[in-house]
Amino acid sequence: MPVKRLVVFRFHRDPLVCRGRIALLRRLNPGVPVHGLFGGPGGPRGAAFRLAGRRVLGLDALYVSRHSGPWNWKNGDLLLLDWYREAGHRLSFDVLHFLEWDLLLAEPLERLYAAVPPQAVGLTAPTPLSVIGDDWRWTAGEDEAREWGDLLAFARARYGYGCDDGDDPISYGCLGEGPCFPRAFLHDYAAADPPALGNDELRYPLFARLLGYPVVDTGFRRAWHGPEDDPYFNALGDQNIPWETIAAELAKPDGRRAFHPVRAALRSGPEAGIRPRRACPG
């Protein structure tokens, strides 16, 4: 049976960009529901999105976070669990794709995630912390290092993490763009009630391991330390990918189809013209 997919589209700004991105998701993935998750500031802006965002952006439904913008940015997984507990658990799906507003996916989800089995957690560039290095902000800063240590202590106390792997089990980080999750993982993750220690890019691979789910790389970025990836998928988010770069890749039969960050509203012509590659005759 075909995998039943659902998109949760996370955003906090630029409604015109979001509207075009959602329209592209729908065009490439007909029949796949797209639910919005607004993680921006509260107050009048949050209220405005709650009242009009669903209709304006073309969403099936919209969930507005109760937390602050900085908390939402750091804790995307916990925000997703809020949505799941309050709304998502009632929906029918096999795999959930948690997509950021500035991630451009120019291919149907079933093709982009073809390497990720429905029972696995799909993460972008899951990498041992020893390879990531000592300068990653989520483990390098004084407060961040303390939180990471507290999260590991929680994992040891609750799940025996590391007890069978020696004193220093291999821990991973990942990039937060484009993860996908089996429904069962979201159920188990919500039940685990993870603490707000570290950030989502540390908790995703850690809790997948603690809960017994395999992790498979989405392949959106080919290596954590890979300068050749930066023109197409920049993990630091400080370089907007221009349309000319995207168009050149789309013109290649084996070109890239995932780009980040794409924060400019692509002209209606180019973005509206993106179509999936034709399947090769077999």
**Is 164 exposed, middle or buried (CB count within 10 Å of its CB: 0-12, 13-18, 19+)?**
exposed
β-pairing, 121-128 vs 172-182, is antiparallel
Q: Is residue 201 situated within a structural domain?
A: no
Q: Is residue 146 situated within a structural domain?
A: no
pTM of the model: 0.92
Q: What is the pLDDT of residue 41?
A: 66
| Inter-residue contact 258 to 104 (CB < 8 Å) | yes
Tokens of 152: 């590991």
- Candidates 225, 6, 35, 11; CA nearest to 131 is 225
How far, in Å, CA of 247 to CA of 271, rounded?
Answer: 10
| Inter-residue contact 234 to 102 (CB < 8 Å) | no
Q: Is residue 280 situated within a structural domain?
A: no
As averages over each run of 10 residues, the pLDDT of the chain (282 residues) reads 95 88 95 94 61 80 90 95 97 98 96 97 97 93 95 95 66 96 98 97 98 97 93 82 92 95 70 61 42
The domain that contains 252 carries what CATH number? 3.90.550
Q: Is residue 129 situated within a structural domain?
A: no
Range of the domain at 244: 5-121+176-195+215-272
**Dihedral sign from CA coordinates of 172, 176, 177, 182:** positive
Q: Is residue 58 situated within a structural domain?
A: yes
Q: Is residue 139 situated within a structural domain?
A: no
Q: Is residue 163 situated within a structural domain?
A: no
Q: Is residue 154 situated within a structural domain?
A: no
Q: How many domains does the chain have?
A: 1
